[in-house]
Structure formats: structure tokens, C-alpha cells
Amino acid sequence: MRWIFISPIVFLIYAGICFYLGKRILDFIRYFSPGIKPFLFWIPFALLCCGIILTNFLGRSMNFLRIASSVWMAVLMYLLMFFVLSELFRLGVFLMGKRIPNINLYIVGTALFLSVLLIVSGIFNARSIKTANYNITVRGTSNEHDSAKFPGNGSDIRIALVSDTHIGSLIGEAWIKRIVNTINQAQPDIVFLAGDIFDGNIDSIKNIPGVISELRKINAPLGVYAVLGNHDVDRISFEGGRTERILQILKDSNIIVLQDDVLEIREGIYLAGRKDARPIGMNVVRKTVEELLAGINGTIIMIDHQPEQFPQSEKAGVDLLLCGHTHSGQLFPSTLITRAIFNRAGSTSYGYWKGETMQAIVTSGAGIWGPPVRVGTNSEVAVINVSFMQ
């Protein structure tokens, strides 16, 4: 959320919204406690509004403030939405010539109640890792030897797709343990991590050895493969970031990272992993999908963090494209905006997509970014049963 303070105009808008919300909340509090001193409210409220920025300078010791201010960003969105709706309601009451005593009290109380209800339920929902199941048939020849190697799956290959774990100050060992348990319960043959595994500065992670220990517990006979996302940047300084420590942690976790690489995971089945198009704070040149897949003859499964360039990928011969990045919007009604943006781009922000020769799955991710809240979306592991046909 540091972008809030980059532009004076954006800062003034944000400050104005915070003041508007704070004034209405204070008026509500003073109805029940008229003797309260305003500064007793405004000082902690201002600290909450600026908490995201302060914790970036004060470090991990202010983790409580980081969590509180992250939750506040979701509260701010819903309070603003409900207050705007309440203003429209009050305007309607005024135009109809009606008068409701203490209407402001009822309006603010209702907005606060609904916001708290959504946020609390959204916090529990974000922490619950669900499973999204897909059955897909792609071109290719099933390998009877390898199919027999993994009995009981009901498909030639079972993939567990995980994205956007955002391991960092808010997501650590306990959250990763829940994800790994969900993966292993699905009994996949192979696991793909589709980027944004980490959330920036590696130093913000409380227990890196514990995270590595949990990741090493992933059980996948054909291995665990990953691509990096736009947040997989270890921010050393304001001049930019690096990926060395991230790559070392993944290597220690027995995870193979693909950076514009293609490998054959089974006879005639190729896995391609792309570099991210826009890693934060870094300038990275990646191969075009045509360059990456040149000379490959077989069934192609590709992992690309951001669900873009679907037409190019289909034209280049990709059979199954696996993506993350979008969080499916994470918070309603942002879900509607995200869906419109990616649908307009010819892809999708979530779920199953089918073109003429290519299919795609976009997962909503197993973690969170910003507020540790999900409303209208799920934290998930996508389990994809892939069958092959001539």
C-alpha cells in the first residue's frame, strides 16, 4: 500500500476518505460517550490509517500494527461503500419528505455492523484452504506404465496447482502447513507453484527453516515445480530487488524453479515455465512463448504467473496453461472489476477457460495480499485431473 503516499493527489484523496470515515465513526461513539476527548480517538485512528507505511520503516517488531492496518484497508473499503449507500438512502428519504429520528445513528451503526461481519467472516474464510477440482482432457498419449505407477487417481496425471501464497510477514509456517496438508490430501502426481510464492522482503518471514520444513513435506512422485511471480522479489533496497535468496529457499525446499525453461516430465509431455512479465522493482527480459516452445513436439503444459497472452500461447501450441496472480479479486466487489479486466483481455480471472486448441486454469491462490481477508473468493488448491486422448 506504499503507493498511497507516492502521489500527493492520491495521498490527499486517501486522507480525505480516512477523515470522512473517522468523523462519522467518532460522531457515533460520542452519541454513547459524549465526554470522550477527540484526540483519544484521532491519534490511534491516524496510526491505524498510516500503519502500513510505518511498519515498512519500523520492521517486523511492529507486526501487530501491520496486521491491524492491513485489516483496516478492507474495513475502509466496506465502510466507504456502505456509507455511500447510506448517503443515497438518506437522500431518498429526504426527497420523499420523510423524517427518521436519529437516522445518522442507525446508518453508521448498520454500516459498522455489516463491515465487521464481513471482515470477521472474511478473515476465517481466508485461512480456510479449500479445494477446486477440474477434469480436463488434452491431446496426447497416456503412458500406461506411469499411470499404473499412480493408482487410484482416476486420471493419467493429477496436478495440484497452488499460487499466490505470499509468504512473508502475514503468512508463515502455520499457513503453509495448512496448504501442504490440503495438497497431500489430494494425492497429486505433480505439484505446480504458479508464482508469488513470497511477498517481497525475505527478512519479514518469521521462521524460514520452518517454512522450508513444511514445503519439503509436499508429496508428489513427479516432483514440485515453480515459476516466480511479480512479488517474488527480495527487496534489498529502493534501487531494486534480487531473487538469489528466494531461489535458495526454494532449492532447499526441493522445489525446481523454471525460468523460461522447458523439460520433459513424462514421455511426450513437456512442462514449460515462464519468467514473470513484470517483477516488482526489476527489469527482466523473458522469451516470447514462441521462442520458449520452439522445436517442442508433444503435449505442452505451461505455467505462467499472470493470465495474459492466451491467444499467443494457444497459437504457439500450448495445450494446458496454468496461472494465478488475480486472487479472483480477493474482496467483493473487486472480484467484478478483476473479472471484467481479464475477460476483456481475452483470458479469465478465475477458473476454467477453453479456446480452440488450448485450455487454461486460473486459480484464486492459496494466500492473501494486503488485507488477510477474503470476501466472495476462496483460498484454494486447484486439483486438476488430466486425461489424454489421441
| Cβ-based neighbour number of residue 363 at 10 Å | 29
User: For the CA atoms of 86, 89, 94, 100, what is the dihedral angle to 10 degrees?
Assistant: -70
What pLDDT, on a 0 to 100 scale, did the predictor assign at position 151? Answer: 40
Q: DSSP for 62-114? A: GHHHHHHHHHHHHHHHHHHHHHHHHHHHHHHHHHTT---TTHHHHHHHHHHHH
The residue range of the domain holding 72 is 2-124
Backbone torsions φ then ψ of 305, nearest 5 degrees: -55, -50
Three cell numbers, residue 157: 496425471
Q: pTM, whole model, 2 decimals? A: 0.89
Q: What is the pLDDT of residue 59?
A: 56
Considering the domain architecture, whether residues 92 and 212 belong to the same structural domain is answered as: no
Asked if residue 203 and residue 94 are part of one domain, the reply reads no
What per-residue confidence (pLDDT) applies to 349? Answer: 97
Task: Say which CATH number the domain at 360 has.
Answer: 3.60.21.10
Boundary (domain end) residue, out of 79, 100, 124: 124
**304 and 156 belong to one structural domain:** yes
**Co-location of 27 and 170 in the same domain:** no
Is residue 42 a contact partner of residue 52, using CB atoms and an 8 Å limit? no
Q: 85, 102, 124 — which closes off a domain?
A: 124
**Among candidates 201, 205, 252, which has minimal Cα distance to 226?**
252
Looking at the 3D structure of the chain, how many domains does it have?
2
How far from the centroid of its chain's Cα atoms is residue 223's Cα?
Answer: 23
Same domain, 202 and 334: yes
C-alpha dist (Å) from residue 104 to 34, 88, 265: 16, 12, 63
| Residues contacting 307, CB < 8 A, separation 6+ | 321, 323, 324, 325, 326, 342, 347, 348, 349, 360, 362
One domain for residues 98 and 139: no
CA 190/CA 141 separation, integer angstroms? 18
If asked whether residues 113 and 155 sit together in one domain, one would say: no
Instruction: Let me know whether 72 and 221 are in one domain.
Output: no
Q: 3-state DSSP: the chain helix, strand, coil percent, rounded to 5?
A: 45, 20, 35
Shared domain check, 212 and 112:
no
The angle formed by the CA atoms of residues 103, 109 and 112, to the nearest 5 degrees, is: 140
Cell matching residue 186: 489430494
If asked whether residues 166 and 113 sit together in one domain, one would say: no
Instruction: Measure the CA–CA gap between 93 and 167, rounded to whole angstroms.
Output: 48
Residue pLDDT tens, the chain, 390 long: 444 445 678 888 888 999 999 999 998 999 888 888 998 999 999 988 887 777 666 555 567 777 888 899 999 999 999 999 988 888 888 888 888 788 788 888 989 999 999 999 999 999 999 999 999 999 876 555 444 444 434 458 999 999 999 999 899 999 999 999 999 999 999 999 999 999 988 988 989 999 999 999 999 999 999 999 999 999 765 556 789 999 999 999 999 999 999 999 988 999 999 999 999 888 889 999 999 999 999 999 999 999 999 999 999 999 999 999 999 999 999 999 999 999 999 999 999 999 999 999 999 999 999 899 999 999 999 999 999 986
Residue 52, pLDDT score = 72
On whether both 162 and 31 belong to a single domain, the answer is: no
Q: Which of 124, 150, 178 is the last residue of a domain?
A: 124
Q: Note whether 166 and 28 are same-domain residues.
A: no
